[in-house]
Amino acid sequence: MAYPPSTAAQPATDVGSVARLITPDGERVSDPALDRWATDVDDALLSDLYRDMVRTRRLDTEGVALQRQGQLGLWAPSLGQEAAQVGTARALRGSDFVFPSYRELGVQLVRGATPTQLIQVWRGEEQSMGDPFARGTAGPQIIIGAQTLHAVGYAMGIQRSARPDGARADDVAVAYFGDGASSQGDVNEAMVFAASFGAPVVFVCCNNQWAISEPVAVQSRFPLARRAPAFGIPSLRIDGNDVLAGFAAMRWALERARSGAGPAYIEAVTYRMGPHTTADDPTRYRDPAELELWRGRDPLTRVETLLRARGALDDAAAADIAAEADHLAAQMRAACLSYRTREPLTIFDEVYAEPHTGLERQRRAYAAYLAGFEEDQR
């Protein structure tokens, strides 16, 4: 028996066949897969999700501005992806552990990253966002897809852990990655491992349609969510610009993983409205009409429309939220401008956990070299 590729397969850019709870016009709708995971979502929680998205977008705007002003070496914009990031991350609990890619500003924010932590990597001052254990969140991963395996290994560790009361640990590990990463061997190996061991891990693929200049059709000829079942992992393909869909889908996936049913996969179909990074120029490879189409699917607008229609948001409340986001952005700018670079010899710190004679010799030699300049200045 042969299995030819189905000619009926939809192009990967198709966004019609996705699960959603809020339409692009801001209308609350029903979805058979998601409904039961959103029954208790009230206006207060929806407002919180909206607030986190506004904060994410405001910080992203500030990050781009700081890069353009020469304060940051690089910035990876998340404009347009706020819903996928905030919705999924807000469903997690503190003891879960997240392994994100470099474009998860909203995830890092929801997981408690400070303004300082958000800029230190991109300013070139540190290589991580600080202690991952403090926030249950690893730093941004640059090597595409590598973190999916870390999440699976962490999940296998959860399976081998007990809670203090002796019960089975029911934490979950989460891997965030993009559509480009879905082509990587590591991501496919991660799904093999996750399925084979029934590991409590959730894969969140933020399909933003573009891997720098490569459209998602180059990565896959059919929806990415359909790959997971072939590994033995159930999946949901959701509207990534619907924050409530992200929240509900993540609850579905987390419940599965916590209960011992194994991994789950979410493809959040979204769109990267800005460049890949501030070093990229999407006008060289993208049709402006495509961007306009996606502006009509803005993840913030639809929630705002819904909240206003329900009387849960008015101009004053929106202004408060915007002011709060402005304040956070000001904190990020202040953190950026006041950052103090570490002393030179600290580059030798923490290469190893234990003393390494070769490196210690280099440190001594470089210290002596630097000390020569100090003598010159006397």
Partner 1 sequence: MTELTMAKALNAALDRVLTDDPAVLLLGEDIGALGGVFRVTDGLLAGHGAARVIDTPLAESGIMGAAVGMAFRGFRPVVELQFDGFVYPAFDQIVCQVAKMHYRTRGAVRMPLTVRVPWAGGVGAAEHHSESPEAYFVHTSGLRVVAVSNPADAYLMLRQAIASDDPVVFFEPKRLYHAKGEVDLDADLADAPPMGLARIVREGTDATIVTYGAQVTTALQAATAAEDDGLSLEVIDLRSLSPVDYDTVAASVRKTGRVVITHEAPGEAGVGAEVSAGITERCFHHLEAPPVRVTGHDIPYPPAKLERHHLPDLDRILDAVDRVLQRPNSLTGVEL
Q: Which residues are catalytic?
A: 272, 276, 285
Is there binding between residue 154 and partner 1 (CB under 8 A)?
Answer: yes
Closest CA to 109 of 157, 171, 48, 198: 48
Min. distance of Cβ 325 from partner 1 in angstroms? 29
Min. distance of Cβ 359 from partner 1 in angstroms? 7
Residues 279-298, interacting with partner 1 (CB under 8 A): none
Is there binding between residue 345 and partner 1 (CB under 8 A)?
Answer: no
Instruction: Among 26, 157, 232, 282, indicate the residue that binds partner 1 (CB under 8 A).
Output: 157
Is there binding between residue 356 and partner 1 (CB under 8 A)?
Answer: yes
DSSP code of 184?
S
Min. distance of Cβ 89 from partner 1 in angstroms? 18
Strand 214-215 relative to strand 210-211, pairing: antiparallel
Is there binding between residue 113 and partner 1 (CB under 8 A)?
Answer: no
Q: Give the separation between CA 263 and CA 149, rounded to whole angstroms.
A: 13
Q: Give the separation between CA 63 and CA 57, rounded to whole angstroms.
A: 10
- Of the pair 14, 349, the CB lying nearest partner 1 is at 349
Closest CA to 75 of 336, 268, 293: 336
Closest CA to 273 of 293, 249, 252, 251: 293
Sign of CA dihedral 4, 234, 87, 98: negative
What are the residue ranges of helices labelled H in the chain? 43-68, 82-90, 105-110, 115-123, 132-135, 146-159, 185-197, 216-219, 227-231, 243-258, 288-295, 299-309, 315-337, 357-377
Residues 177-236, interacting with partner 1 (CB under 8 A): 185-186, 189-190, 192-193, 196
Min. distance of Cβ 118 from partner 1 in angstroms? 16
Closest CA to 81 of 210, 174, 187, 175: 210
Instruction: Among 37, 50, 75, 97, indicate the residue that binds partner 1 (CB under 8 A).
Output: 97
Is there binding between residue 168 and partner 1 (CB under 8 A)?
Answer: no
Q: What DSSP assignment string belongs to 275-307?
A: -SSTT--GGGTS-HHHHHHHHTT-HHHHHHHHH
Instruction: Among 26, 130, 215, 232, indicate the residue that binds partner 1 (CB under 8 A).
Output: 130
- Of the pair 130, 282, the CB lying nearest partner 1 is at 130
Is there binding between residue 122 and partner 1 (CB under 8 A)?
Answer: no
Count of residues that bind partner 1 according to CB under 8 A = 45
Is there binding between residue 359 and partner 1 (CB under 8 A)?
Answer: yes
Min. distance of Cβ 231 from partner 1 in angstroms? 11
| Inter-helix orientation angle 43-68/82-90, to 10° | 130
Instruction: Among 164, 357, 372, 378, indicate the residue that binds partner 1 (CB under 8 A).
Output: 357
Residues 28-57, interacting with partner 1 (CB under 8 A): none
Is there binding between residue 118 and partner 1 (CB under 8 A)?
Answer: no
Is there binding between residue 160 and partner 1 (CB under 8 A)?
Answer: yes
Identity (one letter) of the amino acid at 218?
V
Min. distance of Cβ 352 from partner 1 in angstroms? 5
Interacting residues with partner 1 (CB under 8 A): 97, 99, 126-128, 130-133, 138-139, 143, 146, 148-161, 173, 185-186, 189-190, 192-193, 196, 349-354, 356-359
